């Protein structure tokens, strides 16, 4: 089954990480309170409800990948495509989870969500540092790869301009050893001195 993934342009490949440019995109997003590894299920149900027809017009919308998750504080914006999860400005236990909408849609052509907790949003173009890894969705593995990403960014003088975004490309029923995951951090345009 072909699932649309976010388009990006590889700017530069470094040891351990990539620097990528993503075009503007549209996402459906929701914010959920709780621990990082627990909020995904509730957020996924809300967003899946929207794309499966819980919208004005009861229109079905194709699933995309990845699902992204980031801290919602500061309303930093995640990459196109997945469901995203992030901390919210509402507090350290608030997360923003996003589904990228298929590229054929715009804010004007997407149906309005019936659930007021689901919002549609236009994300601007952005440059991100990315690390890809396979395996489980555990906190330990996430933190291990986040440390690698931030150390590589420091080594390459890439200045973070946002919170880490956790991107999961596969459904939970896929064997853990076949899953593709990424962590993305938006970077400032100019490198550090």
Task: Say if 46 falls within a structural domain.
Answer: yes
Q: Tell me what the pLDDT averaged over the chain comes to.
A: 86
- pTM, 2 dp: 0.84
Task: Say if 98 falls within a structural domain.
Answer: yes
Q: Give pLDDT tens digits for 64-88.
A: 988 898 887 643 333 334 455 555 5
- Cβ atoms of 99 and 83 within 8 Å: the answer is yes
Exposed/middle/buried for residue 3 (C-beta within 10 Å: 0-12, 13-18, 19+)? middle
Task: Say if 138 falls within a structural domain.
Answer: no
Which structure tokens are listed for 84?
């995203």
Task: Say if 18 falls within a structural domain.
Answer: no
Please give the residue range of the domain that contains residue 72: 26-76+83-123
Q: Give pLDDT tens digits for 144-154.
A: 999 999 999 99
Task: Say if 111 falls within a structural domain.
Answer: yes
For the chain, how many structural domains are there in total?
Answer: 1
Which structure tokens are listed for 193?
């001195």
Position 19 pLDDT exceeds 80: yes
Task: Say if 107 falls within a structural domain.
Answer: yes
* Sequence-separated (6 or more) residues with CB below 8 Å from residue 121: 26, 27, 28, 29, 77, 98, 107
Query: Residue 112 is part of a domain; what is its CATH number?
Result: 3.20.80.10
Spell 88-119 as b/e; 16+ CB within 10 A means b.
Answer: beeeebbbbbbbbbbeebeeeebbebeeeebe
């Amino acid at each position: 089954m072909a699932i649309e993934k976010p388009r990006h342009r590889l700017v530069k490949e470094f040891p351990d990480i990539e620097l990528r440019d993503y075009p503007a995109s549209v996402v459906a997003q929701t914010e959920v309170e709780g621990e990082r590894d627990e909020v995904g299920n509730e957020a996924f149900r809300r967003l899946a409800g929207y794309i499966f027809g819980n919208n004005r017009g009861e229109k079905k919308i194709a699933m995309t990948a990845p699902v992204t998750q980031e801290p919602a504080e500061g309303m930093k914006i995640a990459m196109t495509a997945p469901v995203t999860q992030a901390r919210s400005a509402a507090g350290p236990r608030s997360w923003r989870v996003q589904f990228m909408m298929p590229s054929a849609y715009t804010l004007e052509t997407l149906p309005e969500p019936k659930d007021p907790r689901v919002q549609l949003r236009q994300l601007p173009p952005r440059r991100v540092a990315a690390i890809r890894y396979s395996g489980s969705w555990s906190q330990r593995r996430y933190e291990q790869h986040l440390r690698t990403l931030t150390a590589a960014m420091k080594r390459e003088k890439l200045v973070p301009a946002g919170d880490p975004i956790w991107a999961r490309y596969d459904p939970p029923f896929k064997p853990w050893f076949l899953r593709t995951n990424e962590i993305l951090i938006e970077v400032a345009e100019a490198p550090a001195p």
